[in-house]
Amino acid sequence: MAQSPTPAVVTVTGAAGSIGYAALFRIAAGEMLGPDIPIRLRLLEIPSAVSAAEGTAMELDDSAFPLLRDIEVHDDPKRGFDGTDVALLIGSRPRSKGMERGDLLAANGQIFTVQGRALNQVAADGVRVLVVGNPANTNALVAANNAPDIPAERFTALTRLDHNRAIAQLARHSGAAVKDISRVAIWGNHSSTQYPDIFHARVGERSGAEFAADREWLTRDFIPTVANRGSAIIEARGASSAASAANAAIDHVHDWVLGTPDHDWTSVALPSTGAYGVPEGLVSSFPVRSVDGSWQIVDGLQIDDFSRKRIDASVAELESERDAVRGMGFI
């Protein structure tokens, strides 16, 4: 008889929040790690939200997912991350009224220092970490720096939502189907300085560069629409993107574990190896392929002056965030 696969321990922080609620049921249904891998869920929350997370756990039970082995709810990171194979760090401190950027970095620096240390102590050897909570890139930088025994490349931040938004906008503009668009790229920070790049894209039978030649559309429509989409959703919905963010987080981990299609790549924020002139160690978004369970930055892309300027601007923002958390002693 074939042995059944070992269950994967998946920890979701911010499990009682909107993204957590949109992600957990799909994870338990097998959409993230595939239909053969049993799932053990660990929901990590702050004490005041533990009761709400327990309610979500009851609903997960009630869904009778065949792959779902067990669920635990914790407010202690060392218990929530114990033996974890995949950690989705969704919970973070949101910006509140009157809060300065420095205050936000400080509040989150604290959270991601504690979580990085706990992961370092108790996570499974091959743990994969995805930071969703904003400021995602710098939170991932802080967590990675506080987990010296985990290889830095296992810490990533989510720019797949930006990547998916770029595909959707290009599909809408070109008339091509989403499935016929490949090789878009997000560079830099998950913020309004990000650079969505279509110069290397394939759009059906056409090239992204053909569409990029229309500089008016590119600079006044496409780039700002993708880069400011999060704010536009907040404006329209009165709440930030939740289902699309959960969807992107699931896409990210799915491709990390199961691979990217041969003809395509995706975008992930991960510690720079110095590629494309991005300072080593900064958690910056790149076009990447997933090969044998690891991300590899796509190499050899020609970066013209138009793109260079925009990548550099977003990287400069990441450097200033890094300098701020360094100044506060988090890294």
Which one among 8, 10, 16, 39 touches ligand NAI, defined by CB under 6 A?
Answer: 16
132/154 Cα distance (integer angstroms): 14
Count Cβ atoms below 10 Å from residue 239 Cβ, excluding itself.
Answer: 9
- Interface characters, 118-137, with ligand NAI (x: CB under 6 A): --------------xxx-x-
| List of residues contacting ligand OAA (CB under 6 A) | 134, 161, 230, 233, 240-241
Residue with smaller CB distance to ligand OAA, 14 or 77: 14
Cα 136–Cα 268–Cα 125 angle in degrees, nearest 5: 85
Q: Among this protein's residues, is 74 annotated catalytic? A: no
- Interface characters, 96-115, with ligand NAI (x: CB under 6 A): ---------------x----
Q: Is 202 marked as a binding-site residue?
A: no
Residue with smaller CB distance to ligand NAI, 156 or 174: 156
Which residues fall within 8 angstroms of residue 175, CB to CB, at 6 or more apart?
Answer: none
Q: Is 101 marked as a binding-site residue?
A: yes
Distance of closest approach, residue 56 Cβ to ligand NAI, in angstroms = 10
Q: Is 26 marked as a binding-site residue?
A: no
Q: Is 172 marked as a binding-site residue?
A: no
Beta bridge pairs of residue 294: 291
Residue with smaller CB distance to ligand OAA, 134 or 139: 134
Active-site annotation holder among 163, 190, 200, 252: 190
Distance of closest approach, residue 207 Cβ to ligand NAI, in angstroms = 27
Sign of CA dihedral 78, 89, 47, 83: negative
Which residues fall within 8 angstroms of residue 201, CB to CB, at 6 or more apart?
Answer: 170, 181, 182, 183, 184, 185, 207, 208, 209, 211
143/271 Cα distance (integer angstroms): 12
Residues classed as catalytic: 190
